[in-house]
Amino acid sequence: MTTPELGVVGLGRMAQALLWPLIEAGQVSRQGIRAVVATTASAERLAAAHQLAVGTDAALAWRAPVVLLAVKPQQLDAVAAAVPPGCSGLLISVLAGVTLERLQRLLPGWRCVRAVPNTPALVRQGLTGLAFLDSVTTAERQWVISLFAQVGEVVELPEAQLDAFLALTSSGPAFVALVAEALADGAVAAGLPRVLAQRMAHRTLAGTAALLQEQELHPAALKDMVSSPGGTTMAGLRQLERQGLRSALIEAVLAAAERSRELA
């Protein structure tokens, strides 16, 4: 499936990350993108920066056969109220916590897809969970999957599992970033220069993730590989267990999942 026109409601970083691969793959032309933002100043800045048609008139985007909805969740009611009468088509929502039922209620003429991408999509290393209304056709499903596959791995899930998926994959980068910052702080406390400590912390996390994935290791197996009896790693692990790191991370994911349900 290709689309001659794609409407984009909200042109933030995530929307931009999804658009560039589409343009490069020829699935939509730069001239076929119709983007809408909240202010004239933002429209002019984005249009000049990306050579796109960007405006503030909602009809610019909503008359396209496919619309990417990428505004803040709290803006949804106002955005839905501004949709011109008679518009319908395929709607791809990346709004956190907004259910398919709510999308369908507010936008009854649209065949809705709920997408949960995460921020590593900005460097094409993302994870995206997808849930579809039954009205979405097979060709449309395949096109949506191919869209998000260009910025990372795609997982199709029952919508009931998207809150847990969001908590792990969308909130998870913030948790990992906090771990990276803490590791770097520890290395600085132990004597490394700040710039080197940060670079080594990031590289350690990236290399560990690659090893776990490429060799399909259970995390406990990797932990045991680097934990010599009476060694430095075991001394550090004892401290992490004393301070409750494992429990804190589990509770963080559960809290994020519960908050996603509350937002819905």
pLDDT mean over 171-177:
96
- Say if residue 236's pLDDT is above 80: yes
**Beta strand spans in 133-235 (E):** 152-156
Q: Which CATH class is domain 6-162?
A: alpha beta
As a whole number of angstroms, the distance between CA 260 and CA 8 comes to 24
> What confidence tens digit (pLDDT) does each residue in 10-31 have?
998 889 888 888 888 777 888 8
Residue with tokens 């010599």: 228
pLDDT of residue 3: 63
Q: Which CATH superfamily is domain 172-263 in?
A: ProC C-terminal domain-like (1.10.3730.10)
Q: pLDDT band at residue 1, thresholds of 50, 70 and 90? A: low
Mean confidence (pLDDT) of the chain: 93
DSSP string, 31-85: GGEEEE-S-HHHHHHHHHHHT-EEES-HHHHHTSSEEEE-S-GGGHHHHHHTSPT
Percent of the chain residues past pLDDT 70, beyond the cut? 98
| Structural domain spans, the chain | 6-162, 172-263
pTM of the model: 0.89
Angle between helices 172-190 and 245-263 (to 10 degrees): 150
pLDDT mean over 51-60:
88
pLDDT mean over 36-49:
90
